[in-house]
Amino acid sequence: MGHEVNIVTSWRESDGRKHWFETNEAGIKVHWIPIPYSNRMVFRDRILAFLQFALSCSQRTASLKSDIIFATSTPLTIAMPAIYAAQKRKVPMVFEVRDLWPEMPIAMGALSNPLQIIAARALEKWAYRHASSVIALSPGMKEGVVRSSYPPSRVAVIPNSCDNAEFVSRHDAAIRFRAARPWIGNKPLLIYAGTFGRVNGVGYAVDLAKHLLSLGSNIRLLLVGDGVECEFVKLKARESAVLDRNLFFEPPVAKKEVSALFAAATIASNLVIDLPEAHANSANKFFDGLAAGKPIFVNHGGWMNDLVLQHQCGIAAWGRPLDQVARELDCRLNDSEWLQRAGRSARKLAECCFDRDLLASQLERVLVATLNGMPDMAESIAPGIY
């Protein structure tokens, strides 16, 4: 779009690097600070990594000539270097909320100390107070921002996007993927591709596999990813006698390989524990499933559940007994007409509402409006109504 973009971010690998370095990624200048980080880290160590990054990148961000600062979070500590740089440069800051912090860690019990909670709430208010406008990744996240007394007119809803061009016409890739895994064959395949974190509750898939096995279903489940609960989920699968019978595990795949995984799937899933604070999530795996034209399986409430029901593009399992869900899955995933119909609805939703270029245009319009002193246009640019 003709803008000059600098990204300040962290290099998470433990490969001996100690100092800032720069790369050029598709015309974007990326500034990297080595700070080891993993989803396997305990919450305290993750917070320390967040704080280390915030302190390290404040000066770097402020040193870059800029007209506007765009800070994308989680966590809330991302606001610290952004506000520092915006004030030093005397430019507006737009804050993107990718998760409901601190609501989520409080609900999960990760933040339980009263002083920590007070500090987190204060950081939240401080971040919003210094944001000229806010981008929320879901309608539920917008509601969370507005509850903090932030003006709704200055909040745009721009979720994660669908890379529609990358997920189309991957029939050959799907055949190769299945051929390399004889345990799939021509059987229906439900996939989960993402983090094995506490909030994801991937153990739900093990319980589902157990019910499917008791039905004699031909459905196979493939869980792809890693995280702090990965070994726990594998142990649960082994103890439930579903491991390598109808439920299988694979390590994370590179982004460029994700489209083959989704092409091979019969249905894609988004799994989240049943906490109201988690229902506002905006997971990439949901949008990758839509882009691939696959029906979506969700086991949680919130806006994604509403989309699946409203557009009839999958199976909504929230609040339903597992045996009932298993029976519906077994029926639907062996119904070629339903699969085609739900898949078409998923792809239509991807193209009409969540196309990457469409959402990128909305983001650019919000940034330009904010830069021009019109942050109250944010809501009208991206109201989050689907």
How many whole angstroms separate alpha carbon 282 and alpha carbon 161?
9
Give the contacts of 9 (CB within 8 A, at least 6 positions apart): 30, 31, 32, 33
Taking only the tens place, the pLDDT of each residue in 59-80 is 999 999 999 999 998 778 889 9
**Reported confidence tier of residue 46, pLDDT bands at 50, 70, 90:** confident
What Cα–Cα distance (Å) separates residue 5 from each residue in 73, 78, 137, 158, 168? 18, 18, 21, 19, 29
Is residue 61 helix, strand or coil? helix
Average the pLDDT over each of 104-113, 169-178, 286-295, 356-365 and give the range with the smallest value: 104-113
Average pLDDT for 185-204: 96
Pairing of strands 21-25, 6-11: unpaired
82 near 69, Cβ under 8 Å?
Answer: yes
How many whole angstroms separate alpha carbon 219 and alpha carbon 326?
10
What sign results for the dihedral spanned by CA atoms 369, 370, 373, 377? Answer: positive
How many whole angstroms separate alpha carbon 379 and alpha carbon 377?
6
Query: Is the N-terminal amide bond of 75 cis, ω within 30° of 0?
Result: yes
How many whole angstroms separate alpha carbon 154 and alpha carbon 148?
13
Q: What's the one-letter identity of residue 179?
A: A
Q: What's the one-letter identity of residue 222?
A: L
Average pLDDT for 348-359: 97
Average pLDDT for 123-152: 95
How many whole angstroms separate alpha carbon 87 and alpha carbon 97?
20
Look at residue 230 and tell me whether its pLDDT is greater than 90: yes
How many whole angstroms separate alpha carbon 354 and alpha carbon 386?
9
57 token code pair: 């990148």
pLDDT computed for residue 40 by the predictor: 73
Domains defined for the chain, CATH in brackets: 6-161+355-381 (3.40.50.2000), 171-353 (3.40.50.2000)
pLDDT computed for residue 53 by the predictor: 87
Residue 320, H or E segment: none
